[in-house]
Amino acid sequence: MSMGYFEKIYLKNKKRRCSKTKKTAMGFIVVMGIVSLFADITHEGARSLIGPYLGLLGASATAVGIISGLGEFIGYGLRLLTGYLSDKTRRYWLFTFLGYGMDLFSVPLLALAGRWEIAAMLIIMERTGKAIRKPSKDTLMSYAARNVGSGKGFAIAEVLDQIGAVSGPVILSLILLFKSGDELTNYRLAFAILLIPALITLVLLSISRLNFPQPKKFEVKEDKINFEGISKSYWLYLVAISLIAAGFADFPLLAFHFQRIDIFNSTMIPFMYAIAMGVDAVSALIFGLFYDKVGVTSLIIASSLSIFFSPFSFLSNSSLLVILGVILWGVGMGAQESILKSVVADIVTPEKRGTAYGFFNAIFGLFWFIGSAFMGILYDHTVVSLVVFSMIIESAAVFTLFLFKFKLVNTLNKNERG
The residue extents of the domains of the chain are 15-214, 230-408
Most confident stretch, 38-52, 174-188, 223-237, 298-312: 298-312
Residues across the chain: 418
Query: Under CATH, what is the fold of the domain 15-214?
Result: Growth Hormone; Chain: A; (1.20.1250)
On the question of pLDDT at 388 being above 90, the answer is yes
pLDDT for 109: 95
What confidence tens digit (pLDDT) does each residue in 73-88 have?
A: 788 788 889 988 998 8
Range 27-41 average pLDDT: 94
Q: Give 213's Cβ-side CA count (13 Å radius).
A: 1
For 250, phi then psi, to 5°, come to -75, 150
What confidence tens digit (pLDDT) does each residue in 327-369 have?
A: 999 999 888 777 888 888 888 877 788 888 888 888 888 888 7
0.85 cut: is pTM over it?
no
Specify whether the CB–CB gap between 258 and 264 falls below 8 A. yes
CA 273 to chain CA centroid, Å, is 16
Instruction: Indicate if 230-408 has the same CATH topology as 15-214.
Output: yes
CA dihedral 408, 414, 415, 418 (to 10 degrees): 180
Banded model confidence at residue 172, pLDDT cuts 50, 70, 90: confident
Tell me the CATH number for domain 230-408.
1.20.1250.20
